[in-house]
Amino acid sequence: MERRQFLKSSALAGAVLAISNTRIWATSADSRVEIFLEEPRGEISPNLYGQFTEHIGGVIYDGVWVGEQSKIRNEFGIRAELVERMKEIEVPIVRWPGGCFADSYDWKDGIGSTSERPVRTNFWEGDSDAARLHEKGPQVFEPNTFGTNEFMRFCKLVGAEPYLAANLRSLPPLFFDHWVEYCNSPAGTTTLAKMRAEAGFPEPFKVKFWGIGNESWGCGGNFAPEEYASEFRRYTSWIPSFGVGLQLIAAGPNGNDIDWTHRFFDEIFTGHSYHNPSFTGWSIHHYASNLSRGKTRDWLLGKGDALKFELVDWFELLRECDRVERIMADQWAVMGQYDPQHQIKLVVDEYGPWYREGTELDPTHIFGQQVTVRDALATALTLDAFNRNAEKVSVATCAQLVNNINALFLCHEDRFFATPNFHVFKMYAAHKGGQSLRTEFSAPDVHYDRDGRPARFWGLNGSASQKGNLVTLTAVNPDLTQPSQAQVTLRGAAIARSRGTALAASDMHAHNTFENPDAVKATPLDTSIGAGILNVSIPPASVIKLEITLG
């Protein structure tokens, strides 16, 4: 019954469009997309398609690391199927070891002979999700089996750039210098380079991306912004460079806390100002975690369920994820007041829907959750927002790669499958390195009932990019019942050919499982070209990609 409230007024919209622009648009279309080839917005960095891996629950142990002696197919102890699937989508960059874990981690614990590495208490041992654990395994007591060398091996196997998050809360700056030295000092030079060589890695890892703490307003030290700015100076005033162009990333605000951003940059750039050419990133985290529709601000009570949800929750989740673009715009505007040339870009290194516990595949998977088609749309609209803001964002890493919040893969022991998010990343890979193009979407809003009040959400949105004579358009249709009959035009070129792909599901709860790993996947989508217009019927509840060859 509730579904009936979700009608899109397509016929009416078509008529309005016909009146307002009879030259171009046919009355049957209820949406139109106009791509402006002569209005590039900046190159879409491949690094917007990165992933995040933290020592939480089943991410590293069970997800990435199975051990060399395991019966599970592995390369040097790393789950082979994971590596293969990551290569399929050419993951460009992986962030590690946290998250909050990073600020309790001593990298020296994770090098040298594995049998001699110390066992430490994991940062997440006290989390409410950890309370369900039957045994105190690696989720509680970190064995340090997977350390810097193993992570670098993982990156190398995948073909990804490493992005390390340094501990600012509980280790002094010299430990950070030494981590850089261990990773980057040339073969045969420093004592740490020799230790690296003894572990089988004579050549430097050449790590460019370094996070200086994580969520320093919270788990990363509970600092005031001025205090964190002062620590940031101390940690970054001198770091051995070894000719590697270091990219230093500062910990940004809690949500869209503008005050944190103003006060941090004020402290860094005014008065006794500090200019460091390697300071190039401002980290933003955006989780869609409160789905209570304003009923509570409680972190646990506000969470929704990954699988049990109503129509209103569908839109609430998409609406919450969609806020990322506002956050990027607000943060960018403040940063521009202090750094008008925008040397410092946004690094969205954690994002995704975050639900309450209960859908994890194994009790050990702290923050593990199922991933439905709803999450695929949420991930897609987030990636579209990054593409549209290509000039602002330099790196983004999805939280998190496997067995966690917004995972691309779920696995336990010898069973493994890709979630709908994997298919989104596969579809969107075509944008990497492309030129982001201004693209206008015009579609009637979707209307729905939000606790007795009328609410609306956009009816179609997306992004486009160009590489040579190929234009890629991706878009999300959030309407649960109505297809969007779209007409796509290019300003500045003719359309020669087109090919479509869609990820859609008739059930909004659809998700993949061990038993049915392909319940949600991408399939071909019909398109047609006539009178210079590309026509496509975009299915309800879908993510689509159009590959358009220019004539």
Task: Give the footprint of ligand AHR on this chain (CB under 6 A).
Answer: 54, 98-100, 214-215, 285, 350, 399-400, 405
Nearest residue (CB) to ligand AHR, 217 versus 235: 217
| Cβ at position 431, least distance to ligand AHR in Å | 24
Q: Letter for the amino acid at 397?
A: T
Is the Cβ of residue 404 or residue 477 nearer to ligand AHR in the bound state?
404
Question: Least distance in Å: CB of 184 to ligand AHR?
Answer: 25
Q: Tell me 355's DSSP state.
A: P
Least separation in angstroms between residue 72's CB and ligand AHR is 25
Edge to edge, the sheet with strand 461-467 lists 522-525, 495-504, 542-550, 470-477, 461-467, 435-442, 31-43, 484-491, 533-538, 527-530
| Min CB(439)–ligand AHR separation in Å | 31
Peptide bond connecting 99 to the previous residue in cis, omega within 30 degrees of 0: yes
Q: Which is nearer to ligand AHR, 99 or 462 (CB)?
A: 99
Residue 405 C-beta: closest distance to ligand AHR, Å: 6
Closest contact distance (angstroms) between CB of 367 and ligand AHR is 6
Q: Which positions ≥6 away from 511 have C-beta within 8 Å?
A: 307, 370, 371, 372, 373, 419, 420, 519, 520
Question: In the complex, what is the shortest distance from the CB of residue 123 to ligand AHR, in angstroms, rounded to a whole number?
Answer: 8
Report the 3 state secondary structure along 112-135: CCHHHCCCEECHHHHCHHHHHCCC
Contact between 447 and 454 (Cβ < 8 Å)? yes
211 or 539: CB nearest ligand AHR? 211
Contact 187, 121 (CB under 8 A): no
Give dist(CA 43, CA 434) in Å, integer: 6
Q: Let me know how many helices (H) and strands (E) the chain has, helices first.
A: 11, 26
DSSP state of 61: B
What's the closest the beta carbon of residue 99 comes to ligand AHR, in angstroms? 3
**Residue of 178, 195, 168 lying closest to 98 (CA atoms):** 168
Tokens for 289?
């975690």
In the complex, the smallest distance separating the C-beta of residue 37 from ligand AHR, rounded to whole angstroms, is 38
CB of 241 to ligand AHR, least distance (A): 27
Kindly tell me which of 250 and 520 has the beta carbon lying closer to ligand AHR.
250
Query: Quick one: CA dihedral 30, 316, 383, 39, positive or negative?
Result: positive
Q: Which is nearer to ligand AHR, 89 or 399 (CB)?
A: 399
CB-based burial of residue 170 (10 Å sphere; 0-12 exposed, 13-18 middle, 19+ buried)? middle
In 3D, which of 225, 235, 114, 115 has the Cα closest to residue 170? 235
Rounded-to-integer distance, Cα 25 and Cα 489, Å: 10
Query: Min. distance of Cβ 54 from ligand AHR in angstroms?
Result: 5
Six token digits for residue 469: 């004579």
Asked whether 281 and 249 are in contact (CB, 8 A), the reply is yes
Cβ proximity of 58 and 404 under 8 Å: yes
Q: Which residue has the tokens 């949105």?
A: 461
Q: Residue 317 Cβ, how far from ligand AHR at the closest point, in Å?
A: 17
Looking at beta carbons only, is 219 or 411 nearer to ligand AHR? 219
Nearer Cβ to ligand AHR (287/309): 287
3-state SS class at 494: coil
Half-sphere exposure of 246 (CA within 13 A, CB side): 25
Contact 79, 418 (CB under 8 A): no
Q: Give whichever of 216 and 394 is closer to ligand AHR, judged by the CB atom.
A: 216
In 3D, which of 227, 297, 299, 238 has the Cα closest to residue 268?
A: 227
- Closer residue to ligand AHR (CB): 14 or 162: 162
H or E element that contains 285? strand 279-288
Token pair belonging to 17: 């469009």
- Closer to ligand AHR at the Cβ: 383 or 399? 399
Closer to ligand AHR by CB, 378 or 546: give it: 378
Q: Minimum distance between the CB of residue 220 and ligand AHR, rounded to whole angstroms?
A: 8
Q: Which residue has the tokens 């019942």?
A: 481
Among residues 79 and 285, whose Cβ is nearest to ligand AHR? 285
| Closest CB to ligand AHR: residue number | 99
Locate 154 and state its tokens.
């993982």
Distance in Å, CB of 246 to ligand AHR, minimum? 22
Cβ-based nearer residue to ligand AHR, 371 or 443:
371
